[in-house]
C-alpha cells in the first residue's frame, strides 16, 4: 500500500461510494489506497482517476459526496498545504570562484546550505600562461554549477574565461556565471572612426560560452553602466541584470535621520539608471555645465537645504565628479552628504581623496561612502577606512542562484 494525504478540494467522486470525512483542521486527511483501486481515464488535458474503493485503517467517519483531491507525490514535496501554493524546490549549486572572489564566495555559501563551495587550482607555467586544474571534475556531473568571477584587470580575464568555457562541458545540469562588475561598461561608444567598443567585445566573448546540458549560460551582472549594453549579448547567453540599490535602501532605513534623506544624482545618466528604484525619496539632479574651458557641476533641480543628501551612481573611478557634486551640495546648505556606488573601482588608490566629515561638516567630507563588494581588491583597501562601508552582495547572489 502507498500512503498519501489528500486535501478536500475540487475533485468530486463520480460514484456513489462514500468518501472519507476529514477532521475540521487541517482540511485534508491521510488515507491508504491500493493501486489496484484506481482506474485511469484519458481526458483532453490530462488523466482522470476514478476511485473505486478505500482502505480506512483509522476508522474515520465518512460522508457521501465529499470532494477529494489526489496527488501522485507526497504533498510535503509538492504543495504547501497551509497556503495552497506550490513549494519551490531548493536547487543545490556547486559554486566555484577565482582567487579574488574567495571571500565573497564564502559569504555567498554561508547564506544557504544549498550552496557548496568548490575550489580550482590556479597555477601558471614557467612562461606565465595559466595551468589550471578543476579537482573532482567527475563529481559535478549532473549538478547545477556557478562561477563567481572578477575581471579586475585584463591579466586575469583570460585564465577565468578558460575555466568559464570548460565548466559547461563537464556534463553539468546548468551553468551560471556571476560577474558582479562588467568592467568594460564605460567603453561602450564609438565616437570617432577607429574607436573600439570593448564592452561589445567582452559581451561577444561571454556570449560564446558553451551550452551546458541545461541550455544557455545565465549571466548575472549588477548595475551595468549603460542600459543599451544588455543588447550586446547574443542568444547563447541569458543576461540577468541585478542591482545593489536594495542594499542601499535597507541601510538608509537604519539611519537615525532616515526621514530626512534626499537622493542626489550627479548627472542625467545616473538619474535614468536609478530614479525609479528611489522615487519615494526627494530628488536632486546635478549636471555638468561648461564655463570657458572648465566643466563645472551645478544643481539642475531639487533643494538640498537641511537634508542628509546621498549621492548615488553606478561606479566611481577617480572620484572627481563626486567631489565636485559634494562641494556644490554643501554650498547650497546640505546638512550631511553621503555617497553610494555599486562598483568602487578607485584606480591608483583614488579612494584616498574621500575624507570623513568629522561630525557634520559636509564641505570637508562625507558622512558615509557605501560601496558593494563587487570589486574585491577595493574592499581590501577601504574596509577599515571611514567614511567607507561595504554592503555585501552575498545575500543577493545566493538568491539569484536559485532562479
Please tell me the pTM assigned to this model.
Answer: 0.77
pLDDT on residue 230: 74
pLDDT on residue 302: 97
Q: Could you tell me the domains of the chain?
A: 2-78 (no CATH), 93-242 (3.40.50.2020), 245-372 (3.40.50.2020)
pLDDT tens digits in sequence order for the chain, 403 residues long: 444 444 444 444 444 444 444 445 444 444 444 444 444 444 445 555 555 555 555 555 555 555 555 544 444 444 343 444 556 689 999 999 999 999 999 999 999 999 999 999 999 999 999 999 999 999 999 999 999 999 999 889 999 999 999 999 999 999 999 999 999 877 655 567 888 878 888 999 999 999 999 999 999 999 987 766 777 899 889 999 999 999 999 999 999 999 999 999 999 989 999 999 999 999 999 998 877 667 789 999 999 999 999 999 999 999 999 999 999 999 999 999 999 999 999 999 999 999 999 877 899 999 999 999 999 999 999 999 999 999 999 999 999 999 9
CA-to-CA distance for 337 and 274, rounded, in angstroms? Answer: 18
Pairing of strands 388-391, 217-222: unpaired
pLDDT on residue 82: 44
The C-alpha angle 181, 187, 190, rounded to 5 degrees, equals 155
Residue burial 372-391, b: 16+ Cβ < 10 Å; e: rest: bbbbbebbeebeeebbbeeb
pLDDT on residue 56: 58
- List the one residue out of 321, 354, 328, 334 whose CA is nearest residue 262: 334
pLDDT on residue 35: 43
CA-to-CA distance for 200 and 192, rounded, in angstroms? Answer: 16
Amino acid at each position: 500500500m502507498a500512503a498519501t494525504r489528500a486535501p478536500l478540494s475540487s475533485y468530486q467522486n463520480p460514484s456513489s461510494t462514500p468518501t472519507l470525512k476529514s477532521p475540521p483542521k487541517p482540511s485534508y486527511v491521510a488515507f491508504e489506497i491500493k493501486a489496484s483501486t484506481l482506474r485511469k481515464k484519458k481526458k483532453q488535458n490530462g488523466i482522470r482517476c476514478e476511485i473505486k474503493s478505500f482502505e480506512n485503517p483509522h476508522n474515520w467517519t465518512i460522508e457521501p459526496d465529499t470532494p477529494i483531491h489526489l496527488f501522485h507525490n507526497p504533498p510535503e514535496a509538492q504543495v504547501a498545504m497551509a497556503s495552497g501554493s506550490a513549494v519551490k524546490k531548493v536547487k543545490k549549486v556547486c559554486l566555484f570562484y577565482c582567487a579574488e572572489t574567495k571571500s565573497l564566495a564564502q559569504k555567498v555559501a554561508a547564506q544557504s546550505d544549498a550552496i557548496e563551495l568548490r575550489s580550482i587550482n590556479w597555477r601558471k607555467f614557467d612562461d606565465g600562461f595559466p595551468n589550471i586544474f578543476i579537482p573532482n571534475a567527475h563529481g559535478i556531473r549532473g549538478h547545477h554549477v556557478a562561477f563567481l568571477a572578477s575581471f579586475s584587470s585584463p591579466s586575469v580575464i583570460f585564465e577565468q574565461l578558460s575555466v568559464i568555457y570548460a565548466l559547461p562541458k563537464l556534463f553539468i545540469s546548468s551553468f551560471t556565471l556571476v560577474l558582479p562588475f562588467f568592467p568594460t561598461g564605460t567603453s561602450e561608444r564609438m565616437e570617432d572612426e577607429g574607436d573600439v567598443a570593448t564592452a561589445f567585445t567582452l559581451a561577444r566573448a561571454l556570449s560564446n560560452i558553451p551550452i551546458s546540458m541545461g541550455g544557455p549560460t545565465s549571466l548575472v551582472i549588477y548595475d551595468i553602466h549603460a542600459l543599451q549594453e544588455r543588447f550586446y549579448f547574443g542568444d547563447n547567453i541569458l543576461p540577468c541584470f541585478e542591482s545593489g540599490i536594495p542594499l542601499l535602501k535597507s541601510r538608509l532605513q537604519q539611519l537615525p535621520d532616515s526621514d530626512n534623506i534626499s537622493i542626489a544624482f550627479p548627472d542625467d545618466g545616473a538619474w535614468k539608471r536609478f530614479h525609479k528604484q528611489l522615487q519615494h525619496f526627494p530628488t536632486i539632479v546635478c549636471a555638468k555645465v561648461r564655463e570657458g574651458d572648465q566643466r563645472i557641476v551645478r544643481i539642475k533641480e531639487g533643494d538640498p537645504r537641511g537634508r542628509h543628501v546621498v549621492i548615488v551612481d553606478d561606479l566611481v573611478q577617480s572620484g572627481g565628479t563626486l567631489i565636485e557634486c559634494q562641494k556644490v551640495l554643501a554650498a547650497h546648505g546640505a546638512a550631511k552628504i553621503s555617497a553610494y556606488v555599486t562598483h568602487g573601482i578607485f584606480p591608483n588608490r583614488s579612494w584616498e581623496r574621500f575624507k570623513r566629515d568629522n561630525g557634520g561638516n559636509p564641505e570637508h567630507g562625507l558622512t558615509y561612502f557605501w560601496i558593494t563588494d563587487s570589486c574585491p581588491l577595493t574592499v581590501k583597501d577601504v574596509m577599515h577606512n571611514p567614511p567607507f562601508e561595504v554592503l555585501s552582495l552575498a545575500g543577493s547572489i545566493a538568491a539569484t542562484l536559485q532562479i
